[in-house]
Chain A
Amino acid sequence: MNVANEKMVHDLLKPIGYGKGFLIWMSFLTVALIACLYAYTIQLKVGLGVTGLRDYVSWGIYIANFVFFVATSLIGMLISAVLGLTQIKWASPLARIAEIISLAFAAVAGLVIISDMGRPDRFTYLFLYGRIQSPIIWDVTVVTTYVVISTLLLYLPMIPDIALCRDRLTHVPKWQRKLYEILAVNWQNNEQQQRIIRQGVKTLLILIIPVALAIHTVTSWLFAVTHRPGWDSTIFGPYFVTGAFVSGTAAVIIAMYVFRKIYHLEQYITFDLFDKVGKLLVLVSLVYLYFNINEYLVPVYKMKHADAAHLHELFQGRFAILYWSVQLGGLLVPIILLLFKPMRKPLPLFVVAIFVIIGAWFKRYLIVIPTMQHPFLPIQNVPIEYQIYKPTLIEVAITIAPIILVLMIITILSKTFPVLPVQEVESHEDN
């Protein structure tokens, strides 16, 4: 290994370890998480009545959050598998960040759905009495599969790097050294081992594409299999999948920016990389825009009785401000801005990505709630809180809890393993 390489390995391994900043950040997250869990204990005791949910809008921000989580978790498939298998070299240093995000969001998505259950104590019934005809069972099956494959896809390519940690990081605590030793599974970097990993990863990369498509397609079917205006759509599968790539790419950009700043990786997460991911965000946003046009313009043209009420509420009614903010601020304006090269520099791109990801969350809100607000039959003979959905403070806290959990998982993973794959960066530098 030459001097340049030596410096690179040093730089990439440097962020590892649990310093003061890490402890402060994690304590902050822990306190916040405990507060949110306290809210959940109230919900457990009193019932889902502590939320703004009622018989008409019976799915609210928990389900919107679930859809957002599953969506964001799809990014690993796009970056590692789609770009990886098609040999798009510039993306390979980002594969690990994408996989960490995927794993964190997919693993926590399962918890999000439990917070929405009226009887979480009966969670095991899904396995004991599961009916394979119900999309919920499909969802549980594919999300679990996706978590397993994502874990493997994060772990397998990381083994050489873990071995590097095992060999280089001699100053870390004993348990951590032990951890590296176990996870490195006696990696000696010989040809046979390299071949096994190469083949294993390739198999996983192929497997994860249909599974990732399945998780979000099935999630969209939770809505599309119903008769309700706004959900009764045949393009919901691809509409959700393409939307997923938008929020996932934005999440990767945010992570890239934060890791670059805090872990001092300016030399490795380059301007060029931001420029290229910026272009990727434009591409996936354009595809999503295309699906949005299909999803809204076609029913608007016909104005079928039930659709009309829904669309009026979105375009000029109660949800109009949110709808236009999301469609313009979270999709159209970012596309236009990112067409200009200066906007694809790290800081502007980071800011745009934050708008995009917030827009992505509220887009899920707009998919779930307004439809339930407009059933086929009139809402009568119920109190006002049954007619209009307003999330409560407890509900918001319970929604924030999984986001905190995701941040914790990402923080721990990125402080235990190098966030950039050493080998990939190495071959990049050589080019």
Chain B
Amino acid sequence: MQQLALWSGGTVLAGGAVASALHYEHKKKGAAHIKEIADHVHQLKINEEALSELQRRGREGIPGKRWIWVIDLAKCKNARRCMSACQQAHHLRPEQSHMNVLVMQASEHTPAYYMPKPCQHCDNPPCVSVCPVDATFKRQDGVVLIDNQRCIGCRFCIAACPYNARMFNWIEPLYAKEDANMEYNVELNLPQRKGTITKCLMSADRLREGKLPYCVSACPNGVYWFGDENEDVVTNGTTHETMRLSELLEKNGAYQLMPELGTKPRVYYLPPKDRSMPVKEEDKKIANEYVHHFES
């Protein structure tokens, strides 16, 4: 009898776990559907209802879009306008770089090059998988956002991200006082909050206005192409030239950052071939240190 009780108890627990996991996955897919029901049944208390309008649409994304990013490494001269535009838009400290231009070198005799590195907005995002409270999430338009009203600051996502795309507000944010009365916009992640994560948002607020991301528009060298995978079209942030995405990738031998990890990044890189400017000597040294760090 006791054994029976134990077994049935265990089964109920396991069943409950599976059911709630399925329920969550279903909820993720059917977010819009849930909203519909909630609109009709006002008495129904659903988490989504507790969220502000900015939060609700911020979590949903822009219907019909699949944002995609192409970064042409042959064009990057390390001007770093992207970095400063981004820091300005998101009120970041100088050491916080949603967009970070790195000096890279793969091995001893391969060349050094500059590589702007935003969040890769992975289609299989490790950060979203590990988040215990659904604070970081993947939208239907491909963008990975962070809700700093939900984030508990466990930093599991930082540990999980292989691209170092995530930053933490270790102390009071730069404009904490000035931004105190601002309504929280999850698409801009402002106001920033102490004890929570911040990350590249693909400038989701600008996308909603039909504009290109802050960093993309700020680039003076034509490094960035940005667009919609569904339409197969990308636009250059500097020249405003428009191209077929598939053609751009095909012609230039595009690649992704560490695709072997299975993260399915939404950012493509065009190889640093025929660079418009050589890498500075001191930057070469930095890149070389990095190679030696791995091969010593």
Chain B residues with CB below 8 A from A48, complex form = 153, 168, 170, 195
Whether B154 lies near A116 (C-beta < 8 A) is yes
Chain A residues with CB below 8 A from B154, complex form = 116-118, 136
- The docked-state distance in angstroms from the alpha carbon of A199 to that of B6 is 13
Interface code A172-213, partner B: CB below 8 Å = 1, 0 otherwise? 000000000000000000000000000100010000000000
Whether B162 lies near A376 (C-beta < 8 A) is yes
Known: A47-B171, A119-B195, A378-B102. A126 touches B132 (CB 8 A): yes
Question: How would you classify the secondary structure of chain A's contact residues: helix, strand, loop or mixed?
Answer: loop
Which one of B2, B159, B294 has the highest number of Cβ atoms from chain A below 10 Å of its Cβ?
B159
Within 8 A of B (CB), among A373-403: 375-383, 386
- Return A124 CB to nearest CB of chain B, in Å: 9
Query: Of B17, B126, B131, B170, which one neighbours A47 at CB under 8 angstroms?
Result: B170
Query: Of A140, A199, A381, which one neighbours B100 at CB under 8 angstroms?
Result: A381
Chain B residues with CB below 8 A from A53, complex form = 170
Chain B residues with CB below 8 A from A116, complex form = 154-155
Within 8 A of A (CB), among B260-293: 261, 263, 286-287, 290, 293
Q: Does B256 contact A (CB under 8 A)?
A: no
Chain B residues with CB below 8 A from A21, complex form = none
Whether A131 lies near B24 (C-beta < 8 A) is yes
Q: How many residues of B contact A (CB 8 A)?
A: 57
Q: Does B53 contact A (CB under 8 A)?
A: no
Known: A48-B168, A372-B159, A378-B104. A308 touches B130 (CB 8 A): no
Chain A residues with CB below 8 A from B134, complex form = 129, 131
Whether A129 lies near B150 (C-beta < 8 A) is yes
Give the interface residue-count category, chain A.
Answer: 35 or more
Within 8 A of B (CB), among A222-242: 222-223, 225-228
Query: Of A119, A199, A222, which one neighbours B151 at CB under 8 angstroms?
Result: A119
Within 8 A of B (CB), among A137-153: 137, 140
Q: Does B66 contact A (CB under 8 A)?
A: no
- The docked-state distance in angstroms from the alpha carbon of A53 to that of B170 is 8
- Return B256 CB to nearest CB of chain A, in Å: 13
Whether A377 lies near B163 (C-beta < 8 A) is yes
Chain A residue, CB-CB nearest to B296:
A312
Known: A118-B168, A225-B130, A375-B164. A134 touches B156 (CB 8 A): yes
Q: Does B97 contact A (CB under 8 A)?
A: yes
Chain A residues with CB below 8 A from B24, complex form = 131-133
Query: Of B132, B172, B194, B258, which one neighbours A376 at CB under 8 angstroms?
Result: B258
Chain B residues with CB below 8 A from A56, complex form = 164
Within 8 A of B (CB), among A55-97: 55-56, 58-59
Whether B126 lies near A226 (C-beta < 8 A) is yes
Whether A123 lies near B195 (C-beta < 8 A) is no
- Return A232 CB to nearest CB of chain B, in Å: 9
- The docked-state distance in angstroms from the alpha carbon of A130 to that of B261 is 26
Chain A residues with CB below 8 A from B129, complex form = 133-134, 225
- The docked-state distance in angstroms from the alpha carbon of A375 to that of B100 is 15
Chain B residue, CB-CB nearest to A223:
B159
Q: Does B95 contact A (CB under 8 A)?
A: yes
- The docked-state distance in angstroms from the alpha carbon of A377 to that of B132 is 25
Q: Does B103 contact A (CB under 8 A)?
A: yes
Q: Does B158 contact A (CB under 8 A)?
A: yes
Interface code B109-136, partner A: CB below 8 Å = 1, 0 otherwise? 0000000010000000010011111100
Interface residues of A (CB under 8 A from B): 46-49, 53-56, 58-59, 116-119, 122-123, 125-126, 129-137, 140, 199, 203, 222-223, 225-228, 305-306, 308-309, 312, 372, 375-383, 386
A-B contact pairs, 15 of them (CB 8 A): A46-B171, A54-B170, A55-B166, A58-B158, A116-B155, A117-B154, A118-B154, A122-B151, A122-B153, A129-B47, A132-B17, A136-B132, A309-B294, A380-B102, A380-B286
Which 8 pairs of residues, A with B, have the shortest CB-CB distance? A118-B153, A118-B195, A49-B170, A49-B171, A136-B132, A134-B132, A378-B290, A129-B133
Using A49-B170, A133-B21 as known contacts, list a sample of 14 further A-B pairs with CB atoms less than 8 Å apart, ordered by residue number in A. A48-B153, A118-B168, A119-B151, A119-B152, A122-B150, A122-B151, A135-B130, A223-B159, A228-B159, A308-B295, A375-B164, A378-B293, A382-B95, A386-B95
